[in-house]
Amino acid sequence: MIQRIQSIYLLIVGILAGLGIYLPLWVNDKLIVVKGFDNIYILSLFASVIALSLLTIFLFNNRKLQFVLVRFNILINIILLGVFGYYTQTLSGETLVSEKEIGLAIPFVSIVFLYLANKAIKKDEELVKSVDRLR
């Protein structure tokens, strides 16, 4: 059942993470725009979010595993936020050049959509359990 709402949420997260690789994240002290593919750590975290989101979409038969993988994806996004925080606070000349770009908001939005996907997966699991009780 790929047409479920959690699949839409997970697809949105995958698309956002794909955009995060190419959108500007911040401007460094030499006025060079830093993007996701400029740093191997950020690139690997975005790639893992994409892969995990797409994998989770196709695990619609195993809702418990899907629930766990979405929580793991939330953890990866929190780690990505930590990496962003580390890099933006340790930039040389941070007080002189403080331009954060739109790409830094992607993990926040992804976490919201992953939370909504988890909520929908839990709702589906409860619906299946209630139907099993009636048999």
pLDDT in tens, 77-86: 999 999 888 8
> Could you tell me the pTM of the whole model?
0.86
Encoding tokens for residue 61?
A: 């038969």
Tens digit of each residue's pLDDT (9 = 90 or more) over 69-111: 999 999 999 999 998 888 877 766 555 556 677 788 899 999 9
- Are the C-beta atoms of residues 128 and 81 closer than 8 Å to each other? no
pLDDT bucket at 36, cuts 50 / 70 / 90 = confident
Instruction: Please report, for the chain, the start and end positions of each structural domain, with discontinuous segments joined by +.
Output: 5-134
| Pairwise CA distance, residues 117 & 60, whole Å | 12
DSSP state of 103: G
Cβ within 8 Å of residue 100, ≥6 positions away: 25, 26, 88
Helix (H, G, I), strand (E, B) or coil at 5: helix
Supply the pLDDT for residue 104: 84
